[in-house]
Amino acid sequence: MTGLLPAPRPPLEGAIGSVAGGLDFVAIDVETANARRGSICSIGAAVVRDGVVVSTHSWLTRPPAGLDHFDGINISLHGITPGMVADQPSFADRLDQLLELSGGLPLVAHNAAFDIAALREACVAVDREWPTTDYACSLIMARRALDLISYRLPMVAAECGVDLAAHHEAGSDALACAHVVLEIARRRGADNLGALLAGLQVLTGRLEAAAWAGCRGTSTYAGPQLPDVAADADPEHPLYGQVMVFTGALSIRRQDAWEAVARCGAVVEKGVNKRTTMLVVGDGFTGHDPADFWTGKAAKAVLWRERGHRIEVLTEGDLVDLLAETRTSGVRDAVLA
C-alpha cells in the first residue's frame, strides 16, 4: 500500500521528537505472528503532515529469531503465513525503514501500549537499543473524546466516519488510526498534536534507549472506591479504579480473571448497575455492534448507557491487552531480567 498518495517531505534529522509542532505525526500498527508481542510480522505506517495523510506504507517482515513461530489464531486474524514472510526483510531492517520514514515525528497507534511494547520486545530480541521517540495513543484519545460502548478501532473509526478498509491489515489500521486522530482534532478544534493531547488531559508517551513511560491520562478514575481495590496497585494503570462485571465464559478461570483485574486496582462486581464502568464479554465475542451483545448483563449495560452512564464493553482480547500492561513505565534492564 505504498505510493498511493503524494510522497512525504524529506524526514527531519535526528531522533523522533516532540509533539509540540502542528498536526504532524506517523500513525503505526504492527501485527504479530503469535502471542509474544515481539513477534512482529507486519508493520503499517501513515505519515501525516499539516493535518493531511501524505503517504501510507504496509510492510511484511520476518519476526525475530526465537519469536518466529506462527499461531493459527494470529493467522486467522491477519492472514499472514510463514511462507509470506520467509523472504522478507528482517525486523531490524524494517525498523530502520520506519525510523527513516518517521524522522522527527512522534508516533501514534491505536492501543499504543501494545504496539510500543511490541517494538520494545522485538528490539530486545535482536539485541538492539530501543529507538528514541515520543508517542501517543488514539485509543486513549477516543476514550477521552467520545462516548462509545467500545473503543476498539472498528467502532471508533465508524463513529469518526473513517473507512477501515481491512481490519488487522497493518497499513489499513495505521491509516484508520491517522484519520481518527485527525477527526478528533477537528472536533476539539486542535491544530497541533500537543494541544490535542493537553485538551484531552493525556500525557505523551516516551520511549528511549533504556527506559519508557507510557501514554496515559493525567487524571485517574474519580468514581466510588470500593474496598476490594488492591492497595499496591499502580494508579496510572488503565484498569485502576474501574468497576468491572464479567459475562460469558473466558479461556481462563473466572476467579483468575477477577484476581488479575483486582491486582490492577479494579473492583469486581457480579451485576451491572450504575457503578459499572466496564463489562467484559466472554464466549469468544468479537462483534462490533451493541445489538450483538446477547447476554442479560450486556443488555443492562446498553440500558444504563441509554440513561447516561458511561460503560465500556471489552472483549476477552481487549482485557488480555490491558492486563499485559502491568506497568506504565520501566527500564530496559527490567525487560531483560
Buried b (16+ CB within 10 A) or exposed e, 191-228: ebbbbbbebbebbbbbbbeeebebbbbeeebeeeeeee
Cα 322 versus chain centre, distance: 9
Domain with CATH 3.40.50.10190 in the chain: 243-324
pLDDT at 21 over 50: yes
Domain with CATH 3.30.420.10 in the chain: 25-219
Q: Could you tell me the strand order of the sheet in which 107-109 lies?
A: 52-60, 40-49, 25-32, 107-109, 133-137, 205-207, 211-213, 329-331
pLDDT at 61 over 80: yes
What is 25-219's CATH number? 3.30.420.10
pLDDT category, 8, cuts 50, 70, 90? Answer: very low
Give the percent of the chain with pLDDT over 70.
86
- Asked: is 243-324 a CATH 3.40.50.10190 domain? The reply is yes
Average pLDDT along the chain:
86
CB neighbour list of residue 160: distance below 8 Å, 6 or more residues apart? 146, 179, 180, 183, 184
Which three three-digit cell numbers place residue 155? 467502532
pTM for the model stands at 0.81
DSSP codes of every residue in 66-121? TS----HHHHHHH---HHHHTTSPBHHHHHHHHHHHHTT--EEETTHHHHHHHHHH
Q: What is the distance between the alpha carbons of residues 141 and 27, in angstroms, rounded to a whole number?
A: 14
